[in-house]
């Protein structure tokens, strides 16, 4: 059973609009976007819907989405199209922050506190980032930069998401899902791709400007074997001027370890399962491809229509 409850933040009135709603879509993306709930609904006299109204989406006693209405569209056939986002939408605000020796979870907490964003579980990410100076950046980009720094320096991947109204940061190991998707479980169709066209690099070139000597110092790590196979794919980045040579070389080596690989992607269309959202990892077993391994969910689109629940997933190799 599906329940969609709306609370008008201007009047405080609460409405159960479950019977008015059709064609529900719940979309989550692992990096860079808030979760989105969109649906169509019949217009009912006396029902006041305004921007900022709170939306709760619950299915079979499972709490799925808590967010706020950002878009309202009305059509000539007397229906409304509603788009709501969870509170990660407020991380698209911009500001300036300077962090010294702070962990990614501490950075998340500081930003959340400053912008009145509720937090839940923020797992200790262990690694203290020496320095981050972020001027006029979106909050979400600042946070993901701290998560990327943690990954590069520790090999540990963390996922940021909103859990029914609580901003959450978890190690991907905490989000392993026992669900198996394959020929004999939920799967209806699939496509698989391999690519070096996105985030694959075989040469890392880092530089900093030495204010004492007035010269630019360059640090390079490369994989000649993959350069011969793929051609030269260079990653170029300015690092913090306060990092020493050992720290910069370590970052270059860690970057080549993370990025010097073929990206593998898998797209699945399946019968829906509410335990799957962006950031969770699932096991895939497709006999036609002789594929048996675990993937991380990069994006998940759940659709609810005519008493059917389906999902479309894009996956990445962990």
245-290 pLDDT, tens digit per residue, is 888 998 899 899 889 999 888 999 999 999 999 999 999 999 888 8
**What pLDDT does 78 receive?**
79
End-of-domain residue from the set 85, 104, 121? 85
Work out the angle between the directed axes of helices 104-114 and 139-154 (0-180°, nearest 10): 170
Q: Would the pLDDT of 97 be above 80?
A: yes
**What pLDDT does 265 receive?**
85
Instruction: Print the domain residue range for 277.
Output: 183-196+263-317
Q: Reading across the β-sheet that carries 215-222, which strands appear in turn?
A: 215-222, 203-210, 234-238
Ranges 43-47, 66-70, 270-274: which has the least confidence: 43-47
**What pLDDT does 158 receive?**
97
Confidence of residue 79 (pLDDT cuts 50, 70, 90): confident
Shared domain for 191 and 211, answered yes or no, is no
Shared domain for 164 and 234, answered yes or no, is no
End-of-domain residue from the set 259, 286, 307? 259
Confidence of residue 103 (pLDDT cuts 50, 70, 90): very high
Confidence of residue 41 (pLDDT cuts 50, 70, 90): very high
Give every CB contact of residue 88 below 8 A, 6+ residues apart in sequence: 33, 34, 35, 140, 160, 161, 162, 167
Written as six digits, the tokens of 69 are 């209405």
The total number of structural domains in the chain stands at 4
**What pLDDT does 46 receive?**
78
End-of-domain residue from the set 85, 119, 141? 85
Instruction: Give the chain's mean pLDDT.
Output: 93
Q: How far apart are CA 5 and CA 131, in angstroms?
A: 44
Shared domain for 250 and 274, answered yes or no, is no
Q: How far apart are CA 51 and CA 73, in angstroms?
A: 11
Q: Would the pLDDT of 76 be above 80?
A: no
Place of tokens 């009305």: 74
**What pLDDT does 184 receive?**
87
Across the range 90-100, mean pLDDT stands at 97
**What pLDDT does 317 receive?**
83
By C-alpha distance, which of 308, 222, 247, 279 is closest to 33?
A: 279
Shared domain for 215 and 104, answered yes or no, is no
Q: Transcribe 71-84 into DSSP letters.
A: EEEE-TTSEEEEEE
**What pLDDT does 11 receive?**
87
Shared domain for 187 and 313, answered yes or no, is yes
Written as six digits, the tokens of 35 are 């979760």
Structural domain includes residue 177: no
Shared domain for 190 and 267, answered yes or no, is yes
Shared domain for 273 and 214, answered yes or no, is no
**What pLDDT does 260 receive?**
95
**What pLDDT does 161 receive?**
97
Written as six digits, the tokens of 271 are 């019968």
Structural domain includes residue 178: no
Shared domain for 7 and 113, answered yes or no, is no
80-89 pLDDT, tens digit per residue, is 999 999 999 9
Across the range 169-175, mean pLDDT stands at 95
Confidence of residue 236 (pLDDT cuts 50, 70, 90): very high
Shared domain for 190 and 297, answered yes or no, is yes
Q: Would the pLDDT of 318 be above 80?
A: no
**What pLDDT does 188 receive?**
94
Shared domain for 291 and 192, answered yes or no, is yes
Structural domain includes residue 236: yes
181 vs 318, which has greater pLDDT? Answer: 181
Q: Would the pLDDT of 199 be above 80?
A: yes
- Element at 200 (helix H, strand E): none
Place of tokens 């839940």: 120
Structural domain includes residue 115: yes
């Amino acid at each position: 059973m599906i329940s969609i409850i709306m609370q008008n933040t201007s009047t405080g009135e609460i409405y159960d609009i479950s019977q008015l709603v059709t064609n529900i879509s719940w979309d989550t993306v692992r990096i860079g976007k808030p979760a989105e709930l969109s649906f169509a609904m019949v217009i009912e006299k006396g029902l006041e819907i305004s921007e900022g109204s709170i939306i709760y989406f619950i299915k079979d006693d499972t709490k799925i989405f808590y967010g706020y209405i950002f878009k309202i569209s009305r059509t000539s056939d007397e229906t409304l199209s509603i788009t709501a986002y969870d509170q990660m939408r407020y991380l698209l605000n911009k500001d300036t922050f300077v962090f010294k020796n702070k962990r990614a979870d501490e950075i998340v907490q500081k930003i959340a506190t400053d912008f009145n964003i509720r937090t839940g579980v923020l797992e200790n990410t262990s690694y203290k980032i020496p320095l981050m100076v972020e001027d006029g950046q979106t909050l979400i980009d600042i946070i993901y930069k701290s998560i990327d720094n943690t990954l590069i320096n520790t090999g540990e991947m963390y996922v940021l998401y909103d859990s029914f109204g609580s901003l959450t940061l978890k190690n991907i190991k905490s989000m392993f899902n026992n669900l198996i998707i394959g020929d004999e479980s939920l799967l209806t169709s699939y496509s698989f791709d391999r690519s070096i066209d996105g985030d694959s690099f075989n040469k890392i070139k880092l530089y900093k400007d030495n204010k004492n000597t007035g010269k630019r110092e360059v640090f390079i790590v490369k994989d000649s074997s993959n350069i011969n196979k793929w051609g030269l794919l260079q990653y170029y980045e300015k690092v913090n001027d306060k990092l020493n040579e050992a720290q910069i070389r370590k970052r270059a080596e860690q970057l080549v370890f993370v990025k010097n690989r073929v990206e593998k992607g898998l797209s699945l269309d399946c019968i829906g399962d509410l335990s799957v959202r962006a950031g969770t990892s699932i096991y895939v077993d497709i006999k036609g491809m002789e594929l048996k391994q675990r993937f991380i969910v990069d994006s998940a689109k759940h659709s609810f229509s005519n008493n059917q629940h389906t999902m479309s997933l894009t996956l990445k190799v962990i």
